[in-house]
Amino acid sequence: MDGDAGLAPPAVDAPSGCTRPLGETLLAVAAVTLRFGGVRALSNVGFDVKRGEIRAIIGPNGAGKSSMLNVVNGFYRPQAGRITFKGRTFARMRPHLAARAGIARTFQNIALFKGMSTLDNVMTGRMLKMRSTWLEQMVYAGRARREEIAHRRVCEEIIDFLELQAVRHTPVGKLAYGLQKRVELARALAMEPELLLLDEPMAGMSAEEKADMCRFVVDVNAEFRTTVLLIEHDMGVVMDLCDRVVVLDHGELLADGPPAAVKADPDVVAAYLGVRAD
């Protein structure tokens, strides 16, 4: 936990608590166990994400939060457990299958195409939606041309939405950290995902950048009805932003519920403060 847990709530109409009615189940994680050699990163973890909600995973360092996201979009292969997305159960999720099914994500340590411009990075998010053949694309004829223009328009809208117009043509390697995180979000949005996974979207940001990012997450959720599953350390942000919270500790599910209830849970307090409350 860093020092600005008491950060003032961002100036937006964030959903408070779990007062919003939740949709049907979009993602269900059941009994997931993940081991690296002898190390148990996750043991028997299960939770669900409802359509339209903003869901958070919190927990101390090494709790298995990032591992959980990596399991959901197929970067890690769990030894046991099932992932059900949109009613379809995946025996083995793989990153490109997750992307195809409508799961987009950002990374804790930014993963961008550093040599490409902001626009080109965002355009890679449209890759799966290209329908023209490579022959058409090579001569830039017919369908390829129309497609390119249509995708470009979508990307420009997203760039406007995330206020990235000024750096549209800058190679992203040259951008400031906070902006890079925003480009990553833009690329994920370009995929028009149904589920957006955000791995510490506000880590290492200034208070102002955090407030901006919070606003974007809320806007995305409200305008595009995108379901969000995010990892965050900043309790203030989590309380303001999220409908429900999953708490992990040492790879185990510690608590699951609305932010206020989770915050009051003695086990959660103990995990964060390092004392047993029994």
The footprint of other proteins on residues 171-210 (CB under 8 A) is 187-188, 191
CB of 125 to other proteins, least distance (A): 5
CB of 124 to other proteins, least distance (A): 5
Whichever of 93 and 211 has its CB closer to other proteins, that residue is 93
CB of 183 to other proteins, least distance (A): 11
Whichever of 95 and 142 has its CB closer to other proteins, that residue is 95
Tell me which amino acid residue 74 is. Answer: G
Does 138 bind other proteins (CB under 8 A)? Our answer is: yes
Q: Which of 104, 167, 211, 220 binds other proteins (CB under 8 A)?
A: 104
Whichever of 71 and 255 has its CB closer to other proteins, that residue is 71
For residue 25, give Cα distances in angstroms to 85, 98, 217, 246: 8, 17, 20, 15
Does 90 bind other proteins (CB under 8 A)? Our answer is: no
CB of 127 to other proteins, least distance (A): 6
Pairwise CA distance, residues 45 & 34, whole Å:
9
Does 31 bind other proteins (CB under 8 A)? Our answer is: no
Q: Which of 31, 80, 127, 275 binds other proteins (CB under 8 A)?
A: 127
Q: Which of 23, 24, 140, 277 binds other proteins (CB under 8 A)?
A: 140
Does 44 bind other proteins (CB under 8 A)? Our answer is: no
Q: Which of 29, 107, 118, 239 binds other proteins (CB under 8 A)?
A: 107
Whichever of 112 and 237 has its CB closer to other proteins, that residue is 112
